[in-house]
């Protein structure tokens, strides 16, 4: 569908933000997100400046028959929003902290680092993930597993209320008391029900933590994974951790000692006194001296240093699966895949779940698979269409090899592309999935919002 200049300028008269069509100079820059593999060509882009702009944009899409995509940072774009109306929320900034109630109200364009900055002076912490540059909405609606997850649950569990503009162009407040079915489905159902304009979440009293990473040479990968499997059996909920087998790319920017080589990284955060956290990390030091250790007491403001995720845009292809256990046979496949000289994969990360994730929250949501033991993420760099195809094919082969050891479910925040259409249902129990589809049919029967993970596969309509 084409949006003509006259139609765009009529829309421009109604809104404060920018209306951008393909002929405009800034179209090229605005159509892209953080993950450079999504190469999308929306018919029109609206950079919203306030909630009224979002309402006007959704109503315009409704009148013109355009489908709607939403983008904050572009860290988690799932499907290319071609021929759509793309609403960019990144200018909707603002975080209000209520230190007494221990809550944060965040506008839709907020990123986690901005919440941390405002919460830390009050000794409070939000449930962000590994990167402070990720947006609060996409992350939270998909679940949101971060370094406090085993102690305080998923970010979705911390949500108190959500404001959104539904496909009929109406701004609605949702909470356990108001529009409660929408409130249930948004937390886990993602961007399927409209454009979120604000989120209110609980904060937690964490001023500092004991965290960091240990690094081991790749030839210890199999034994490190076995050690990790046994170690997580006895750790408390105060400790959230992950283990990653990483193959550093053969790029000139990578130091010689690491280029093209495999390493194992064990990352963890302990919420409590260092003296108690040290006990658990000491077990690793006793097992094998690491090449490097960064564990120390960090102020909460420095939590992002545990993962040191990339800041600049990256082209990557990735997927995930959930595991209930980690057998020796599964470990062998992980090690063979990651050490194969021909594999284009860069990393396999296993995140330890359980703890508070596996508690039914005060206000139940659509989040599924709470009892999974491990979230397994597979990722490779994909700077060209050819490398993207190679990484995607390698991931599918990897999943095939791992099949007997997988639960058959996925975690929504780590799927994209074809799997965003075909695997979303595997994130839920069959009952939850049916309830979400009913909610989708009620609020968005024409599938106006179809570029996030798809509850109803548009190809089948």
Ligand X SMILES: Cc1cc2nc3c(=O)[nH]c(=O)nc-3n(C[C@H](O)[C@H](O)[C@H](O)COP(=O)(O)OP(=O)(O)OC[C@H]3O[C@@H](n4cnc5c(N)ncnc54)[C@H](O)[C@@H]3O)c2cc1C
The two beta strands, 171-174 and 195-202, are unpaired
Nearer to ligand X, 78 or 103 (CB): 78
Q: Rule CB under 6 A: is residue 73 a binding residue for ligand X?
A: yes
From the CB of 279, what's the least distance to ligand X, in Å? 25
Report the C-alpha gap between 281 and 214 in whole angstroms: 9
With contacts defined by CB under 6 A, how many residues of the chain interact with ligand X? Answer: 33
User: Which of positions 192-221 make contact with ligand X (CB under 6 A)?
Assistant: 195-196
Q: In what order do the strands lie in the sheet with 95-98?
A: 95-98, 103-107, 195-202, 159-165, 171-174
Q: Residue 431 contacts by C-beta under 8 Å, 6 or more apart in sequence?
A: none
Q: Rule CB under 6 A: is residue 142 a binding residue for ligand X?
A: yes
User: Which of positions 3-42 make contact with ligand X (CB under 6 A)?
Assistant: 33
Q: Rule CB under 6 A: is residue 188 a binding residue for ligand X?
A: no
User: Which of positions 145-174 make contact with ligand X (CB under 6 A)?
Assistant: 145-146
Nearer to ligand X, 90 or 336 (CB): 90
From the CB of 136, what's the least distance to ligand X, in Å? 7
Select from 17, 42, 76, 189 the one that contacts ligand X (CB under 6 A): 76
Stretch that binds ligand X, among 72-80, 278-286, 360-368, 400-408 (CB under 6 A): 72-80
Select from 137, 306, 357, 456 the one that contacts ligand X (CB under 6 A): 137
Nearer to ligand X, 75 or 213 (CB): 75
Q: Rule CB under 6 A: is residue 61 a binding residue for ligand X?
A: no
Q: Rule CB under 6 A: is residue 185 a binding residue for ligand X?
A: no
Select from 45, 46, 118, 139 the one that contacts ligand X (CB under 6 A): 139
Select from 20, 57, 70, 424 the one that contacts ligand X (CB under 6 A): 70
Nearer to ligand X, 131 or 174 (CB): 131
Q: Rule CB under 6 A: is residue 413 a binding residue for ligand X?
A: yes
Select from 17, 42, 132, 143 the one that contacts ligand X (CB under 6 A): 143
| Letter string b/e over residues 311-342, b meaning 16 or more CB atoms within 10 A of that residue's CB | eeebbbbbbbbbbeebeeebbebbbebbbeee
Stretch that binds ligand X, among 136-144, 216-224, 281-289, 324-332 (CB under 6 A): 136-144
Name the residue among 129, 132, 131 with its Cα closest to residue 154.
129
Give residue for tokens 């909470």.
175
From the CB of 101, what's the least distance to ligand X, in Å? 23
From the CB of 426, what's the least distance to ligand X, in Å? 16
Determine phi and psi for 295, rounding to 5 degrees: -65, 130
Nearer to ligand X, 38 or 331 (CB): 38
Q: Rule CB under 6 A: is residue 132 a binding residue for ligand X?
A: no
User: Which of positions 95-114 make contact with ligand X (CB under 6 A)?
Assistant: 108
Q: Rule CB under 6 A: is residue 269 a binding residue for ligand X?
A: no
Q: Give the footprint of ligand X on this chain (CB under 6 A).
A: 33, 70-78, 89, 108, 129-131, 134-135, 137-139, 142-146, 190-191, 195-196, 309, 413, 451-452
């Amino acid at each position: 569908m084409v949006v003509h200049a006259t139609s765009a300028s009529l829309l421009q008269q109604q809104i404060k933000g920018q209306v951008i069509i393909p002929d405009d100079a800034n179209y090229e820059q605005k159509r892209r997100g953080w993950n450079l593999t999504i190469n999308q060509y929306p018919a029109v882009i609206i950079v919203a400046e306030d909630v009224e702009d979002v309402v006007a944009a959704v109503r315009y899409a409704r009148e013109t028959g355009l489908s709607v995509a939403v983008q904050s940072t572009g860290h988690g774009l799932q499907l290319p929003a071609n021929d759509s109306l793309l609403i960019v929320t990144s200018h909707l900034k603002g975080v209000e902290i209520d230190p007494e109630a221990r809550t944060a109200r965040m506008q839709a364009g907020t990123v986690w680092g901005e919440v941390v900055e405002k919460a830390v002076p009050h000794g409070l912490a939000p449930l962000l993930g590994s990167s402070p540059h990720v947006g609060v909405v996409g992350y939270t609606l998909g679940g949101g597993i971060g370094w406090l997850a085993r102690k305080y649950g998923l970010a979705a569990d911390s949500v108190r209320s959500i404001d959104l503009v539904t496909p009929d162009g109406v701004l609605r407040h949702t909470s356990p008391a108001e529009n409660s079915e929408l409130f249930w489905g948004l937390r886990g159902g993602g961007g399927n029900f409209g454009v979120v304009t604000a989120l209110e979440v609980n904060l937690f009293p964490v001023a500092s933590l004991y965290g960091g990473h240990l690094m081991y040479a790749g030839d210890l990968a199999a034994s490190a994974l076995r050690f990790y499997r046994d170690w997580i059996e006895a750790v408390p909920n105060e400790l959230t951790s992950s283990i990653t087998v990483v193959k550093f790319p053969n790029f000139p920017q990578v130091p010689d000692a690491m280029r093209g080589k495999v390493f194992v990284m064990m990352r963890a955060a302990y919420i409590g006194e260092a003296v108690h956290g040290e006990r658990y990390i000491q077990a690793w030091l006793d097992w094998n001296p690491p090449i490097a250790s960064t564990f120390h007491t960090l102020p909460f403001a420095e939590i992002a240093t545990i993962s040191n995720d990339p800041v600049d845009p990256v082209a990557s292809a990735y997927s995930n699966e959930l595991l209930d256990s980690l057998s020796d046979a599964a470990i062998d496949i992980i090690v063979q895949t990651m050490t194969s000289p021909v594999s284009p994969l860069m990393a396999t990360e296993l995140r330890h779940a359980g703890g508070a994730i596996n508690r039914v929250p005060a206000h139940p949501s659509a989040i599924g698979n709470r009892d999974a033991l491990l979230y397994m993420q597979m990722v490779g760099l994909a700077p060209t269409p050819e490398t993207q195809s190679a990484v995607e094919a390698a991931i599918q082969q990897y999943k095939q090899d791992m099949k007997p050891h997988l639960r058959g479910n996925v975690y929504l925040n780590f799927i994209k592309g074809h799997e965003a259409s075909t695997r979303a249902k595997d994130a839920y129990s069959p009952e939850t999935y049916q309830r979400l589809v009913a909610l989708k049919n009620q609020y968005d029967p024409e599938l106006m919002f179809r570029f996030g993970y798809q509850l109803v596969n548009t190809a089948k309509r």
